Structure 1
Amino acid sequence: MKLKNLFILGAACVLVTICSCTSPAAKQYEAPELAEYFKDTTAVPKTGGVKMVTINTPKGKFKVWTKTFGNSPTMKLLLLNGGPGATHEYFECMESFLPAKGIELIYYDQLGCGNSDNPKDTAMWDLPRYVEEVEQVRQALHLDKDNFYLLGHSWGGILATEYALKYQQHLKGLIISNMMISCPAYGKYANEVLAKQFDPKVLARIREIEAKKDFANPEYMQLLIPNFYEKHIVRMPQAQWPEPISRAMGKLNESLYVTMQGPSEFGISGKLTNWDRTKEIAKLTVPTLSIGAQYDTMDPKHMEWIAKQVENGSYLYCENGSHMAMYDDQKTYMRGLGKFITGINNGQKKIEL
């Protein structure tokens, strides 16, 4: 199977967490009744939580796929996949952890991804348009400041950040997972730090292939998989990657990926090349969790910095993880994510993780 870098960006972590104060009167988390959590409140006929949401775009109306897992009146987590161009499917690992805490999961394939419509029009692959798409999904699913948590991973972190800067009044909590908020800084780190970790001969050959724009050359991925993917994307042999990752990667929309990210695995050359919200991030007042990992594809200090810049920031450090820390440092990732969401639900603004 031909692989592309499913997840363009990521944030690595630092060795310090953001400690924060908690309210003495904070309520204690209580697990929901099983029957109540799985209560299906949707209209008939039942669809197992699947809802196709109609979105309006400059090119007409399209449908995007969503699926709700569980039922929580106060903790609804909408998931924004990476790529750009991947699918919701690699988030399925969350079913093994978050429902036990009463957190409702909402899977969502962005336009051009997975089960959603694909207009096959590169003009549609545009960050501001995707922000408005998320807002239309929010409205259709009746998410609001009393229940709406938004998690964006990798490219989804860019989308989540951009959405929050415009619509944070609708959010209860924001999670930026494995994502820097500056693409120029991402490119610099890839070239000045990650590239230098390669064997010089391997790096020289990768650079040679990229200079010729010979990205279809099988040797390109043969070099990247053991030297990059297995060290910084998922820290295990590619043949042992969990099935949801491989399934999502196998459905990657290459047109969307290349348009936004560009074909190279080092830095960005697509529409996102100059995206940078380092000056604006301080405007966020919504409780925000940034998640990074030691072996991620980006600067280990950047995710901690994000948590310090926002008004109510918390930081989760995955010591053994990489870009897909929800798999290769799973216990740390899921424990911290669950603690953040339930803590905010109990009235806290910052969470010590």
Structure 2
Amino acid sequence: MNTSVPLSDGHIPFTYQGETFQTYCKVFGHLQGRSSNPLVVLHGGPGLTHDYLLSLSDLATSSVPVILYDQLGNGKSTHLTNKPEGFWTIDLFIDELVNLLRHFGIEDSFDILGHSWGGILGLEFEVRRQPVGLKHLVLTNALASVALYREAQSRLLATFPEWVREGMAAGINDPRKYPALKEFYAKHVCNVSPWPEEVTDSFDRVFTEEGDATVMSAPVVRGWSIIDRLHLVRVPSLVINGPDDVSQDSTVAPLFWGINRAKWVRQEGTSHMPFWEKREDYMDAVRGFLSL
């Protein structure tokens, strides 16, 4: 975590369908008097937390603030274990993002970095709402469709022992799930050994007995695809993945070909978390893109 810039954190009220919830966020740097766009970071899952993305605070400077937050239902934001599956929608999370932008008064000029599911959220925000203030979109280890993602994961899983394949196919609360997931993820999600504490914290918040898998269990992205809507993305977009990434080339290629102004960076030696695996190279690539 970047200790060279000031850190503030707290909760933002978020009213949705007549109820008010709390969104937890961290801000690295100063939002007042900035000379560059704030970078808003969208975590993956859906159902993880901001913790595993804390290395992205490296991008914060005296002039570029970075905002991380826990999406509703996760981490230190309001948990809603009794909500029906239909409550958890892409529009819910877009509305929460809009609320955050308005709270900080940055909706007129900002950048977005979305990781994995966060890339889906960033894309849908751009395509559905056409936000006037969005200047750059970083789609890191994201996907163009769930079908392509599942196909790639199946190919990768075929090389693993049967117990891993069975555990990965088990339900979210099945005790076989987490050991199998960690075995698969050690190669295709985060190849740093041991995992950074921040990464372990995020997964523990979902997959352990004390965790909350409500959002991850909901069908938020079931059948999702944006391939036929990519022409609606107006802003310069950076696509990042790696050779061992669960978001294989076949999963991200449509993003590069479908977005009018897209750049594709394939980082050697990385899987799904290049911001830990090749941290300095990753930050350089993102900084260079956001400065354009």
Q: Is TM-score (shorter-chain normalized) higher than 0.5?
A: yes
Deviation at 1:74, TM superposition (A): 2.2
Report whether the alignment pairs 1:104 with 2:65.
Answer: yes
Establish whether residue 113 from structure 1 lines up as the match of residue 74 from structure 2. yes
The 3-state SS of whatever aligns with 2:249 is coil
Specify the code of the residue in structure 2 equivalent to 1:189. A
Structure 2 partner of 1:328: 277
1:290 to 239, 249, 252: 239
After superposition, what is the alpha-carbon deviation per residue over 1:18-69, rounded to whole angstroms, capped at 9, x for unaligned? xxxxxxxxxxxxxxxx9xx75xxxxxxxxx5324222221251111112211
Of the candidates 10, 24, 41, which is equivalent to residue 79 of structure 1? 41
Matched-pair contact (CA < 8 Å) for 1:316–1:333: no
In the alignment, structure 2 segments of 5+ residues that lack a partner are: 207-211
On the 8 A contact 1:101/1:338 being kept in 2, the answer is: no
Aligned residues with identical type, % of pairs? 24
* Contact 1:92-1:244 within 8 A present in 2 as well: yes
Report the counterpart of residue 195 of structure 1 in structure 2: 157
- State the alpha-carbon separation in 1 of the partners of residues 143 and 244 from structure 2: 14
Matches within 5 A, 1:1-353: 49-58=8-17, 60-71=19-30, 72-95=34-57, 97-100=58-61, 102-120=63-81, 121-122=83-84, 123-145=86-108, 147-168=109-130, 169-191=132-154, 193-198=155-160, 202-203=161-162, 205-208=163-166, 216-218=174-176, 220-226=177-183, 228-237=184-193, 240-252=194-206, 253-259=212-218, 270-343=219-292
Query: For the residues of structure 1 that align with 2:157 and 2:247, how far apart are their CA atoms?
Result: 11
8 Å Cα contact 1:294-1:321 kept in structure 2? yes
One-letter code aligned to 1:257: M
Judging changes above 3 Å, is the alpha-carbon distance between structure 1 residues 212 and 119 closer, same or farther for their aligned structure 2 residues?
closer
Higher relative contact order (CA 8 A, sep 6+): 1
Give how far 1:131 is off. Answer: 1.2
Q: CA deviation at 1:129?
A: 1.3
Deviation of 1:206 (Å):
4.3
C-alpha separation between the residues in 1 aligned to 2:77 and 2:180?
A: 33
- Contact (CA 8 Å) 1:87, 1:109: kept in 2 or not? yes
CA contact (8 A) 2:152 2:250 kept: no
Structure 1 residue 85: deviation in Å? 1.5
Q: Structure 1 residues 144, 235: closer, same or farther in 2, change over 3 A?
A: same
- AA aligned to 1:194 is L
Whole-angstrom CA distance in 2 between matches of 1:321 and 1:207: 22
TM-score (norm 1): 0.72
Q: Contact (CA 8 Å) 2:123, 2:233: kept in 1 or not?
A: no
Q: What is the deviation of 1:174?
A: 0.9
Q: Judging changes above 3 Å, is the alpha-carbon distance between structure 1 residues 225 and 63 closer, same or farther for their aligned structure 2 residues?
A: closer
| Separation of aligned partners in 1, 2:254 and 2:145 | 12
* Distance (whole Å) between structure 2 residues aligned to residue 213 and residue 250 of structure 1: 16
Q: Is the 8 A contact 2:167 2:180 kept in 1?
A: no
CA separation of 1:209 and 1:338: change in aligned 2, threshold 3 A? closer
Secondary structure at the residue paired with 1:231?
A: helix
**CA contact 1:184–1:273 (8 Å) conserved in 2:** no
2: CA distance between counterparts of 1:209 and 1:114?
Answer: 24
- Rg larger for: 1
Contact kept, 8 Å, 1:101 with 1:342, in 2: the verdict is no
Indicate if the aligned counterparts of 2:143 and 2:252 stay in contact, CA closer than 8 A.
Answer: yes
Question: Cα 1:154–1:117, aligned 2, differ >3 Å: closer, same or farther?
Answer: same
Alignment root-mean-square deviation, CA: 2.3
* Unaligned segments of structure 1, at least 5 residues: 1-33, 39-47, 260-269, 344-353
Q: Indicate if the aligned counterparts of 1:144 and 1:172 stay in contact, CA closer than 8 A.
A: no
Please state whether the residue corresponding to 1:128 is helix, strand or coil: helix
The aligned amino acid for 1:163 is F
Deviation at residue 236 of structure 1 after TM alignment: 3.1
Give the letter aligned to residue 116 of structure 1. S
Give the TM-score normalised by the residue count of structure 2: 0.86
